[in-house]
Amino acid sequence: MPLKLLKHKSWHVGKRENIERVRRDEAAEQARIEADEQRMQEEDARNRLALLRGRQPPAVTQTDPIHEEHADPSLTGTSKRTRKPRKRDDMVELDAQLQGKQIDPEVSDDAEKFTAGKCPPLGTAPPVSDFKFQQPWYVTRSEESEKKKARLDAARKQSSDPLVAMQAFLAQKKALEQQRVAELITDEASHIQDSSIKTKREARRRRHHHRDSSHKPRHD
């Protein structure tokens, strides 16, 4: 078929009418999906409300198979399409099972008394002698964090206090002065020791020289 005749065909995908129809079909499908999701959420909310009121939750509404079977293929894109029913919430199922179980009358009576503040439920509170009076781990961590926070606060206050900074400066200055005095004393002692050694050497040299000169023979 020549390409110049292809654009005149009614089934051509590039025609404006076909493009608009596809967009309408997609919008209708998206709206139907959103409506189904909204209906499922409303059913879940009704089930939870019924359980809170102590009633049996209503059955989940299934998707109408007749509507799905006779749906227009041009709108849905398929001739037959079935939608799987959404599973009920696990918490809803658990609450429904608990509602159907038989409760011990003694335990129920004790629970009512405990709610009224008359007595604790039987078997729920261990004797006092079984308790170990020890601090839990989170209390220990909290105390350690408080001590660390106190140390950091003290260090921060000291660093921002001008009096503390001045005292630290004076202490450092005094330490430097003491160090200088100690160095001067050390240098003076070293100088005195060197002078004493030199003096002793000079005296020893003079004695040797005098001794040598006294033993030389004299020529008349």
- pLDDT, tens digit (0-9, with 9 covering 90-100), for 140-181: 666 777 888 888 888 877 777 777 778 888 999 999 999 999
207 versus 62: which is more confidently predicted?
207
Mean pLDDT for 53-57 is 74
Lowest mean pLDDT among 66-75, 108-117, 180-189: 66-75
Residues 6+ apart with CB under 8 A from 52: none
Q: Is 129 helix (H, G, I), strand (E, B) or coil?
A: helix
Give the model's pLDDT for residue 48.
84
Structure confidence at residue 149 (pLDDT) = 84
* pLDDT on residue 198: 83
Strands (E), the chain: none
pLDDT of 24 strictly over 70? yes
pTM more than 0.85: no
pLDDT band at 30; cut points 50, 70, 90: very high
Nearest to 29 by CA among 86, 62, 74: 74
**Above 60 in pLDDT, residue 58?**
yes
Average pLDDT, whole number, for the chain? 70
Q: Which residues of 83-111 are buried (b: 16+ CB within 10 A; e: fewer)?
A: eeeeebeeebeebeeeeeeeeeeeeeebe
Which residues, including other chains, have CB under 8 Å from residue 11's CB and lie 6 or more apart?
18
Pick 47 or 132 by higher pLDDT.
47
Report the alpha-carbon distance of residue 93 to residue 85 in Å, rounded.
Answer: 15
| Greatest alpha-carbon span in the chain | 162
Residues 61-90, mean pLDDT to the nearest whole number:
49
Tens of pLDDT, residues 97-125: 666 554 455 555 555 555 555 555 455 55
pLDDT, residue 32, reads 94
**Does the pLDDT value for residue 64 go beyond 80?**
no
> pLDDT class for 27, splitting at 50, 70, 90?
very high
The two three-digit tokens of residue 211, written as one number? 């001794």
Q: How many other β-carbons are positioned within 10 Å of the β-carbon of residue 220?
A: 2
Q: Which residue has the higher pLDDT, 200 or 72?
A: 200
Q: Which run of H or of E encompasses 71?
A: none
Radius of gyration of the chain (CA): 51
- Asked if pLDDT for residue 63 goes beyond 60, the answer is no
Domain locations in the chain?
Answer: 12-54, 162-214
- Identify whether the C-beta of residue 145 lies closer than 8 Å to the C-beta of residue 139: no
